[in-house]
């Protein structure tokens, strides 16, 4: 991830984060309604705008808080603090209402950041005391949702794919990852109209007008072929597509080195989940649509794969990252490497970037409780709403399996800095 268009630090790094990864599992979860109800049969309904509701609760109300190891989350929190220290004091981190008032500006995090830096590394007792002393937990709810589902959060997952590639086009390496084209223009509409805050478009200039950028099919057919945008060549067109969904990845080169690539821009076209396309065509039963089943179908139908993938007009461009260690995750929207199992992508409209968020849900592989403190360090194009998070599971096969299966409900708690104590008179 996740998915805003990556201007400078603390702004969106995907068509809203790591997520132009576009929260693939969420797209799959939407298939049931989209595939089963004909468009013409759906009555027009006004969908209420999501609204953040926060209810202050004690730490003892957080399921599993006493069993978590908060010292594991502290390094990710402090990494975010270093980014906040370099940010402009007036720069918005996001949030709505009380979340914006208490944690929407970098300065509001400074006392907690200073105190957190003094906590001994690896000391869970000290880390627990720190979070309890400097933060107030709030249960997150969507005030516009039905009353019985208002406090129901929804969680998906993403990961950092590992693929084979070469810096030169040779042998089986015939499928390029492209860098960002110089003529791709991305516009934050909120800069022009306050009611469009958080929305953006992308295109290219033509005769003094901004027109839609080329779609996936046009790009695959070579409209950008002579611009020398190729960063690296992969040996599988499906790997290119999956990297674009996730928004970052690790490319294993023939010499044994690993090339890190991450999101650099998106063509502005809408994301169409090809799982829905395959289900509508009867290729995969609706209840069996998953990341694994889609990949398997594409690999088994090479002659049809390109046509199916081109049904998704969205196209993601990449850049190489040379500053990351092998044990670090890709950079998220906050500008820091994502921590496996401790970083999440959120909707910045409601949740400030950098904020600690406690999630209570279930592990997608074991069904065991997954209750831990995480950090809002990324954004995602399909991560919409206040009670919504996309968990970064890391890299490797197990991370891929976890991310592909993660679609679970639970509770979400936002930790905001406690206001400074008023002086006694």
Write b or e for each residue in 387-423: b if 16 or more Cβ atoms lie within 10 A of its Cβ, otherwise e.
bbbbbbbbbeeebbbbbbbbebebbbbbbbbeeeeee
Distances (CA, A) of 344 to 54, 114, 303, 391: 19, 23, 37, 5
Give 172-223 pLDDT, tens digit per residue: 999 999 999 999 999 988 889 888 876 889 999 999 999 999 999 999 999 9
pTM score, whole prediction: 0.79
Model confidence at 301: pLDDT above 50: yes
Model confidence at 11: pLDDT above 70: no
Pair 211, 204: CB distance under 8 Å: yes
DSSP track, 159-197: EE-EEEEESS-BTTB-EEEEBPPTT-EEEEGGGT-GGGT
Q: What does DSSP assign to residue 28?
A: H
DSSP run (H or E) holding 347: none
CA-based torsion, 120, 124, 126, 131: positive or negative: positive
Model confidence at 31: pLDDT above 60: no
**CA distance linking residue 53 with residue 227, whole number of Å:** 48
DSSP run (H or E) holding 138: strand 135-142
Closest CA to 9 of 319, 386, 353, 381: 353
Q: Which residue has the higher pLDDT, 45 or 166?
A: 166
Pair 380, 159: CB distance under 8 Å: no
99: helix, coil or strand? Answer: helix
> Which domains are seen in the chain, by residue range?
24-38+49-417 (2.40.240.50)
| Beta-carbon count within 10 A of 313 CB | 19
Tell me the pLDDT band of 422, cut-offs 50, 70 and 90: low
């Amino acid at each position: 991830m996740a998915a805003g268009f990556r201007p400078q630090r603390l702004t969106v790094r995907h068509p809203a984060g790591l997520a132009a990864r576009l929260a693939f599992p969420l797209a799959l979860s939407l298939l049931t309604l989209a595939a089963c109800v004909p468009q013409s049969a759906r009555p027009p309904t006004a969908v209420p705008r999501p609204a953040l509701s926060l209810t202050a609760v004690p730490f003892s109300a957080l399921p599993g808080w006493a069993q978590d190891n908060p010292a594991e989350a502290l390094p990710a929190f402090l990494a975010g603090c270093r980014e906040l220290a370099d940010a402009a004091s007036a720069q918005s981190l996001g949030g709505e209402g009380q979340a914006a008032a208490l944690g929407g500006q970098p300065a509001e995090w400074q006392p907690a950041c200073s105190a957190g830096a003094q906590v001994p590394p690896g000391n869970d007792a000290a880390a627990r005391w720190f979070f309890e002393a400097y933060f107030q937990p709030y249960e997150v709810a969507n005030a516009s949702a039905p009353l019985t589902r208002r406090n129901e959060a929804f969680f998906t997952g993403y990961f950092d794919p590992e693929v084979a590639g070469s810096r030169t086009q040779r042998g089986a390496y015939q499928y390029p990852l492209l860098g960002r084209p110089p003529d791709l223009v991305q516009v934050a509409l909120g800069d022009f109209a306050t009611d469009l805050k958080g929305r953006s478009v992308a295109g290219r200039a033509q005769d003094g007008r901004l027109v839609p950028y080329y779609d996936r099919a046009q790009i695959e057919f070579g409209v950008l072929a002579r611009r020398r945008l190729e960063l690296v060549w992969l040996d599988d067109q499906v790997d290119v597509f999956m990297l674009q969904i996730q928004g970052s990845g690790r490319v294993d080169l023939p010499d044994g080195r690993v090339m890190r690539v991450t999101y650099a821009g998106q063509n502005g076209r809408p994301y169409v989940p090809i799982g829905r396309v395959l289900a509508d065509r009867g290729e995969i039963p609706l209840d069996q649509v998953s990341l694994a089943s889609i990949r398997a179908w594409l690999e088994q139908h090479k002659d049809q794969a390109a046509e199916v993938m081109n049904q998704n007009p969205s196209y993601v461009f990449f850049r190489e990252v040379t500053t990351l260690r092998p044990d670090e995750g890709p950079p998220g929207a906050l500008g820091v490497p994502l921590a496996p199992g401790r970083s999440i992508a959120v909707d910045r409209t409601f949740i400030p970037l950098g904020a600690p968020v406690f999630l209570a849900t279930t592990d997608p592989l074991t069904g065991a409780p997954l209750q831990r403190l995480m950090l809002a360090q990324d954004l995602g194009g399909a991560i919409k709403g206040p009670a919504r998070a996309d968990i970064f599971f890391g890299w490797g096969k197990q991370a891929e399996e976890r991310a592909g299966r993660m679609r679970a409900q639970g509770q979400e708690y936002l930790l905001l800095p406690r206001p400074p104590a008023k002086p006694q008179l």
